[in-house]
Amino acid sequence: MIDAASSTAHCPLCSSGAAALTLPHPSRSMLSDGRVIPRALTKMSCLACGSAFHASSAAEVDIRAIYDDDYTLASAAPKSDVARARAYGDWIRGEFNPPRSILEIGCGSGALLSELLQTWPDAHACGVDPALPKTTQSQRNITLVRGFVEDIPTVAGTFDLIVAVNVIEHTTSPSAFLRSLHDHLAPNGRIVIICPDGHSPNVELLFFDHLYSLTRDGLRICGRGAALAAEKQIPAPNNIGDFQMSVFTAQTDNSHTPPADATDAARLHSDRQSYLDGWRMLDQFLLERLRSTANLLSFGAGQTAALLRAYAPQTWARVASLVLDDPTEAWDLGPPVALYRHAVQTPGRPTLIATTPRVQQAVAKRLERDGLYPVTWNELIPR
Ligand SMILES: [Zn+2]
- What was the pLDDT predicted at 40? 84
Q: How far is the CA of 165 from the centre of ligand 1 (A)?
A: 22
**What does the pLDDT look like over 237-256, one tens digit per residue?**
998 989 999 999 998 765 65
Q: How far is the CA of 265 from the centre of ligand 1 (A)?
A: 9
- What was the pLDDT predicted at 76? 54
Domain with CATH 3.40.50.150 in the chain: 73-266
- What was the pLDDT predicted at 68? 59
Q: How far is the CA of 59 from the centre of ligand 1 (A)?
A: 20
- What was the pLDDT predicted at 291? 93
Fold annotation for 291-375? Rossmann fold (3.40.50)
Listed as ranges, residues in the chain with pLDDT below 70 are: 1-8, 57-78, 135-138, 253-263
Q: How far is the CA of 214 from the centre of ligand 1 (A)?
A: 9
Q: How far is the CA of 199 from the centre of ligand 1 (A)?
A: 13
Cβ atoms of residues 80 and 109 within 8 Å: no
- What was the pLDDT predicted at 255? 60
Q: How far is the CA of 235 from the centre of ligand 1 (A)?
A: 20
- What was the pLDDT predicted at 1? 45
The CATH architecture to which 73-266 belongs is: 3-Layer(aba) Sandwich (3.40)
Q: How far is the CA of 33 from the centre of ligand 1 (A)?
A: 27
CB-side neighbour CA atoms (13 Å) of 352 = 31
Q: How far is the CA of 149 from the centre of ligand 1 (A)?
A: 25
- What was the pLDDT predicted at 4? 43
Residue of 336, 348, 329, 328 whose CA lies nearest to 298: 336
Domain with CATH 3.40.50.20 in the chain: 291-375
Instruction: Give 85-153 as a DSSP string.
Output: HHHHHHHHHTTSPPPSEEEEES-TTSHHHHHHHHH-TT-EEEEEETT--TT---BTTEEEEES-GGGS-
Q: How far is the CA of 217 from the centre of ligand 1 (A)?
A: 8
- What was the pLDDT predicted at 133? 74
- What was the pLDDT predicted at 104? 97
- What was the pLDDT predicted at 6? 46
Give the pairing type, strands 52-54 and 43-46: antiparallel
